[in-house]
Amino acid sequence: MSRAALDEFRDAVAAHEATASVVEAAGLRAELEGIVDGLAVGAPLPFDGVSLEGLPVSLDPTPAELEAAEYGVTGAKLGLADYGTVAVRADPAGTEPVSLFCDTHVAVVAASTVEERVDAAFDTLAADARTDRPSVVLATGPSATADMGELVYGVHGPSNVHVVVLSDR
């Protein structure tokens, strides 16, 4: 993706009450160590040469850990530049629960999969639906409600979202 699109993505993430950082794959470990400051669970990241092994992140967590953890680290299938959205897959490794139950969701996305146009992202999603029939959640910012009379972040889902973009993936 272009520099401009990356900036657009970061701006859109910020506009939706989330935060973003951009690192090279080699710097991810240090980046996550800086972010994760408490009990954390994770799902394996689907990027070449990148792993959560060795970090204080419980992979293949138990339900009790899911309930107790403050941070959930997952990969994202793609991003939407216009909206600051990440696509989270509901896969057997537990990406969906890890992204949903903790107060802070840390989503890692490869820069090459951040789509500048919604149409392009949909071409991918629609093609996948035809073949693998996956389940995907387009997640944008924290969970929110205005049902209690004012806008509140953090309802049934996370109240904080941080997106880490891998600039060389």
Alpha-carbon gap, residue 100 to 139, rounded angstroms:
10
- Report the residue number, 48 or 147, with the smaller CB distance to another protein: 147
Binding residues vs another protein (CB under 8 A): 16, 60-64, 66-67, 83, 85, 89-97, 100, 118-119, 122, 125-126, 129-130, 133-152, 154-158
Q: Which is nearer to another protein, 6 or 140 (CB)?
A: 140
CA angle at 133 for the pair 129 and 137, rounded to the nearest 5° = 80
Closest separation in Å from C-beta 40 to another protein: 15
Which run of H or of E encompasses 127? Answer: helix 118-131
* Smaller CB separation from another protein, 35 or 118: 118
Provide the minimum distance between the beta carbon of 141 and another protein in the complex, in angstroms, as a whole number: 6
CA distances from 145 to 35, 142, 154 (A): 26, 10, 8
For residues 20, 24, 27 and 32, what is the CA-based torsion angle, rounded to 10 degrees? 30
* In the complex, minimum distance from the CB of residue 166 to another protein, in angstroms, rounded to a whole number: 23
Separation of CA 39 from chain center? 18
| Contact predicate 149/7, CB 8 Å | no
> 41: part of which helix (H) or strand (E)?
strand 40-42
Comparison of 6 and 98: residue with beta carbon closer to another protein: 98
Can you give the length of the chain in residues? 169
The nearer residue to another protein, 53 or 64, going by C-beta atoms, is 64
Q: How far is the CB of 27 from another protein (least distance, A)?
A: 28
Q: Name the minimum Å distance from CB 69 to another protein.
A: 12
